[in-house]
Structure 1
């Protein structure tokens, strides 16, 4: 349950796109859903984008921008 225990976030996020590597956890956004944060793990790193997997949908790879808080398109995230 969120807020239980010591109050710390259960994730350790990487917010530095220059150091992204496979296995890092990032906080990503979906434009249609505003600034609501989602957590995902990086599964591939490319020069201008990353591929992530959200734990809620482990078989679905999402293409995200290579930014401090990556953005996944509405079409991809909400499909």
Structure 2
């Protein structure tokens, strides 16, 4: 299991998340933490996970501005 904090990227987290998913080992769980703002990034991240062939295992609000998703291939 690896955790990736993408909050510092603000709304520009998608290219980095896609890069990580492309390098991530099959069968290993990845946890992503990113900033959501208006909730649009939640659906975008779910779509990206599906596009990359991963299963979205969990998605939850971490605090007032951050979101966490758990994925596995």
- Asked if TM exceeds 0.5, the reply is no
Which has the higher relative contact order, 1 or 2, with Cα contacts under 8 A spaced 6 or more apart?
Answer: 2
Say which structure is richer in strand.
2
- TM-score normalized by the length of structure 2: 0.27
- TM-score normalized by the length of structure 1: 0.26
Bigger radius of gyration:
1
Say which structure is richer in helix.
2
